[in-house]
Each structure stands twice: as structure tokens, then as C-alpha cells.
Amino acid sequence: MYPNSISNLIESFKMLPGIGEKTAERLTFAILETEEENIEFFSKSLQEIKNKIHRCPICNNLTEEEICNICSNEERDNTLCVIEDVKSLFLFEKMKVFHGYYHVLDGLISPIDGINPEDIGIEKLLERIKNKKYNEIIFAFKPSIEGETTSLYIKKVLGEEQIKFTQLASGLPMGADIEYIDSLTLERALSDRKILE
């Protein structure tokens, strides 16, 4: 029914998460009404994502440079934050709450899903920690069994080294209504309770 190039663009939008037939059609019609130079820019951006972006060989961050701008910045704190994906890195950077270096894993260890240490690139992280003395290694994974498995595994393998390992605190989110909190979170908030000083 549609001319080929219109169907193709609808199909392209439908590959994206959360975009079904109707939305894909709506977006395609919006593109048809967009100025030529903007469509050119959109098309070129997609090409460049494909051609220019690669993983930083040190930390696995996405970058266009040889080494990403975080790894090549020598002014940052000598602390290493280990995260489960590159989205976490951008989130941390956007919130400006951390000023050290990152190491991006390819997910978390999950034996039940058949994901073993070698599948998430642990070897490269272990090498990195052994070769450079960081003041502290922070595990910033989502609170989950997979997160704990992964941090415990890394800590165990590096057991002989004199390294300070920490993980993000779990507990009540700021502003949370205790009435609506789930029991696991409440249990953790209680067991990790903190002395008032």
C-alpha cells in the first residue's frame, strides 16, 4: 500500500523498543514533513554511530577517540567504579556525583542464565586492577543477586591484593514513603542501619 521507501522507514522505526505499527507510521509521516537538511542530519547521525563509535580499550566506555575522555583525563580521583553497562556511566556523569574512573562490564554474572565471569569481560578488569593501584574499587551494580555474585566473585579472585572494595548503599530512597516500600528494601535498610553521630 505504501511506496517502498515509506514502508522501509516504517519497518526501521518498528525495530526500536516500544515502537509499534501506529507509532512507526506517525513518526514516518513526521519525517515526510521534516526539512531535507534535518533528514540528512538524522541519516548521517546513524551512519556515524556505526562508523565512529567504538569501545574504549581501557574501560569499555563508548567513544570516538582512541582512548575515552574519562580515561585520558589525569585529573580525576584515583578511584575505580565498576558498572554493569555504559548507560550507568552516562547516568553517573550526568549527575556529577562521582569523579574517579570507570570500568564497564558486559552485564553481571548470572549462572542461572548461563552468564559466567568470562562472558562479561572480568579478565580485563582484573588485569587493570592488578596493574594500577586504585585507592578504592566501588561496585555500583543494581541491588540484586547477580550484582552481589559479581562483586563477591571479583573480590574473591583479587583476595590476596591489599584493596579497599565497597558497594553502593542499599536502603530507603530519599523521600520514599515507608508505607509503600517493599519488604526486601526495608529489611536491608534495617540491617544496614547507621549509628547517629
Query: Does 168 sit near a copy of itself (CB under 8 A)?
Result: no
CA separation for the pair 89, 134 (Å, rounded): 18
CA separation for the pair 86, 78 (Å, rounded): 20
Is 81 in a helix, a strand, or coil? strand
Query: Does 115 sit near a copy of itself (CB under 8 A)?
Result: no
Query: Does 97 sit near a copy of itself (CB under 8 A)?
Result: no
Closer residue to a copy of itself in complex, CB, 64/127: 64
Centre a 10 Å sphere on the Cβ of residue 4 and count the other Cβ atoms it contains: 7
| Residues 4-63, interacting with a copy of itself (CB under 8 A) | 4-6, 8-9, 11-12, 15-18, 25-32, 34, 36, 38-50, 52-53, 62-63
Query: Does 192 sit near a copy of itself (CB under 8 A)?
Result: no
Closer residue to a copy of itself in complex, CB, 65/113: 65
Sheet holding 165-167, edge to edge: 101-104, 79-83, 136-139, 165-167
Interaxial angle between packed helices 21-32 and 4-14, expressed in degrees from 0 to 180 and rounded to the nearest 10? 130
Residues in contact with a copy of itself by the rule CB under 8 A: 1-6, 8-9, 11-12, 15-18, 25-32, 34, 36, 38-50, 52-53, 62-65, 87, 90, 93-94
